[in-house]
Amino acid sequence: MIHRYQKKGLNFVLDVNSGAVHLLDDISYAVSGLIDENMTEKCPESVVEALPQYAADDVREAYGELYELKKAGQAVEVDLEHDSADHVHPGSTYVSKSGCQGFCQMGPLLRIEPDGILYTKVKASDAAEIVNETIIGGNVIERLLYQSPIDGKHYRGDHDIPFYKRQHRIVLANCTIEPASISEYIAKQGYAAAKKLGMDGCQVVLFATGEKERYKAAIDGLTQAGITWHYVRGSLDCREDRERLIRETVEKFGRIDILVNNAGVAPKERKDLLEMSEESFDRVLGINTKGTMFLTQLAAKQMIKQEQIFKSKGHIVNVGSCSAEVSSTSRGEYCVSKAAVSMLTTLFADRLAPEGILVNEVRPGVIATDMTSVVTEKYDTMIKNGVFPIARWGKAEDVAEMIAFFCSDSVLYTTGNYVDVDGGFHIKRL
């Protein structure tokens, strides 16, 4: 027997016989409503006929996967997945691996964000209850909370636990994020450019894929700095989301004077150029290049029709990469996408100069972000060996300062140019 739940756009199935909990896609969830414990290996045609909105082969494939799950009879299995930590669908729930939580004696640990719940000494057998009670039901499971040996009190999250409250965390300040996820890094620290421009007097519109609550710490930092901001949720590779971003910005602030194209995803897997998949290529180019191209097009049209009130009619800054010129054969799609962004800078600079709109590019080198964290040892060695004349990791603030410079009245007779923010890495040496 199975129980089926739908919550926050998610499809949950609980197998009461095995204790397994599964998160299913729409087609598998639909199929699950048409089967019972007497499933046969072959998908009945009645199931296919009952779901005419789906391709017959897809229905049969979903049925086969459900049959394999039933046949496996796992004690507990929780399949909470998203297609990428860097491209989370709006409204989705996902599981990620974090860095060290600094509380190993109470592990395994499970955090539930943005609720700030920390479960301790979690076992596989707790998975079904956590999904049912907390993720679906919104209830806290008290027995899994940390309990003080001194007063017996249960603590909901690490912000309350005395062990954490006595700490000022530096190295472990971002231990709650997934080390391989650029989007999670952005949620914590990726607003350097927004903060810099806001401090310079700009009203800021933030555009990202996750729920606003995911970025609470960063957004609170903008508020505390007195920066006026507006958040728009969407994906750069979606036309409707791009159009909504422009529309909401104009509705909120009346005009657009600056566009900073700061989107950049790396391949999900670094693969040799000869092994690169079309899917990976399309994903990276779709966000980094296509999204940048057509968002710039929309923003430029808006700038053109506005009354000019500043010394220029608008500034557009593209955040490229040293990878536009430096070969990296294990992530060729990223190099191609950034080389294309460089040409987009040239093209739009040429087209928009008569309109009074300036377009330039900031080209970062090795910047300490989540994207580079997977190859930290490689870049540490390069820095040690003197490959970078300025012998340190670049910081997000280094990039933000140059973005702000290109958006200022200090740059009124320059367009179609780029500046390397790479510690001198671009210098050719003998």
Catalogue the active-site residues. 334
Sorted by sequence, the CB contacts under 8 Å of residue 61 that are 6+ apart come out as none
**For 260, phi and psi rounded to 5 degrees?**
-110, 110
H helices present in 1-146, as ranges = 26-32, 45-50, 56-72, 127-129
Helix (H, G, I), strand (E, B) or coil at 85: coil
The rounded distance, in Å, linking the Cα atoms of 69 and 346 is 53
Pairing of strands 117-119, 110-112: antiparallel
Inter-residue contact 164 to 227 (CB < 8 Å): no
State the Cα angle at 241 between 236 and 28, rounded to 5°: 90
CA R_g for the chain: 25
The rounded distance, in Å, linking the Cα atoms of 186 and 87 is 12
The rounded distance, in Å, linking the Cα atoms of 59 and 76 is 25
Place of tokens 């009124």: 412
The rounded distance, in Å, linking the Cα atoms of 338 and 266 is 11
The rounded distance, in Å, linking the Cα atoms of 136 and 10 is 9
Sorted by sequence, the CB contacts under 8 Å of residue 377 that are 6+ apart come out as none
The rounded distance, in Å, linking the Cα atoms of 260 and 310 is 17
Distances from the Cα of 27 to the Cαs of 63, 83, 219, 293, in angstroms? 9, 16, 37, 34
